Amino acid sequence: MWLFLNDISYQPSSKIEFIFKLLADKWNDFGNQSLVKYDLIDGKPKHYEFLVFSKYLANKRNGNLHNNSAEIDLTHPVNAIWKETKEMFSKFYEWYNDHNLYHYLGFLFATEKNKDELIRELINLNIDKELFESVVKVKIGNAIKITSKDKETGFVKKLNQIEYNEDNPSIIKILLLFNVFSLIEHKKESARFPFNLFKKERITSIEHIHPQNPPSLDTDEDRARIWLNNHKSSLNSFKTKLENKTEIIDAAIKKIDNLLRKYDKETFKNIFSEIIEIYAEISDFRENELHTLYNLALVDKDTNSQFNNSFFDIKRELLKENKLGRYMPICTQRAFSKFYSNRPNDMIFWNDDDRTAYFNAIEKVYLSFTNLIISSNGN
């Protein structure tokens, strides 16, 4: 439950400190005056939570002593504070164990910068569960809503216009929600998105399903030889399916063999670009879709490095092997198994039908949340 609520970097000496941290701001506003005053610019003083707790308890005890009741329970202030603490923990426990709320809130906690403020806001919502879930879903819609503008037109970009590098934060949020929502809809209640692994393994690396030809290519000889051998095998498998391209493929394989005998960085760069172009031509890939959600998926950084700008079929095999033992998001797995495709009969290329079906699935989830913003404003 800890990493459902928090980032990997937050490691207090005791987990209960997290609850006291959240309660401290509430307790500090005692009788419409601050128990511990501080300047907003300088920030909260050291041991802020302890100072607030100490003064809050003292004030509660003083109030108890001035009570006209004949019997004074000296433990009452402590019990009242402990009751608040347990109530907050119970709220977290409820969120964590509810299938839908776990996923909706887990997404917000994984993407919101000011988590403490968000949690306080949610806890203070005195509404029933159904309305609470609706409010949370509207917050998700606002979190993923595209706000970046097209440089040429000045208009806010559409979903099919956001691009790798320019709009990475939006892309990561949208792909994360796509994965999270897929598990909300999963028939097995036990299937839950592992936010703990998402944070521990830093699954925020954007992978091109169809390989890109990067401006800066890793020419390390060991990695290059792995790439060359993998793609030699892949090109050989193309020949049986693409007889009209045999001559081009044979020429590429010959260049690979020559380079494997005597490696040269500049030659590798040239062959890499040539083979990527052959692959793009064979798969009829549109250049304007390369860096868009038609062609992007979430993986961890090390898996992204292992994929090494490989062909679709090679990445698919590497993903199945998963030698690194990393968590692979469900929608990334589905993309490489062509789960979304109408005609998943060609497992070598990421073709037009695959790209369109995949994007449509993302768009459906995106609109199901962003349309709620319009509905809530209308009400």
Taking a C-beta distance cutoff of 8 angstroms, is the pair 224, 268 a contact?
Answer: yes
Q: Give the pLDDT score at 231.
A: 87
> Can you tell me which residue has the tokens 């095998």?
233
Q: Return the DSSP state at 11.
A: -
Nearest one of 308, 154, 301, 289 to 225, comparing CA atoms: 308
Does residue 209 contact residue 348 with C-beta atoms inside 8 Å?
Answer: no
Q: Which tokens is 272 given? A: 């890499």
- Look-up: residue for tokens 């917000």? 108
What tens digit of pLDDT does each residue of 320-354 get? 999 899 999 999 999 999 999 988 777 878 888 99
Average pLDDT over residues 126-138: 94
Tokens of 300: 């961890």
Q: Residue 378: its pLDDT value, please?
A: 57
C-beta atoms surrounding 332 within 10 Å: 23
Percent of the chain topping pLDDT 90? 49
The candidate with the shortest Cα–Cα distance to 292, out of 174, 172, 159, is 159
More confident residue, 52 or 70: 52
How far apart, in Å, do the first and last CA atoms of the chain sit?
Answer: 35
23 token code pair: 């309660």
CB atoms within 10 A of CB 4: 19
pTM to 2 decimal places? 0.86
Taken as a whole, the chain contains a residue count of 379
Mean pLDDT of 208-237: 85
Residue 55's pLDDT band (cuts 50, 70, 90): confident
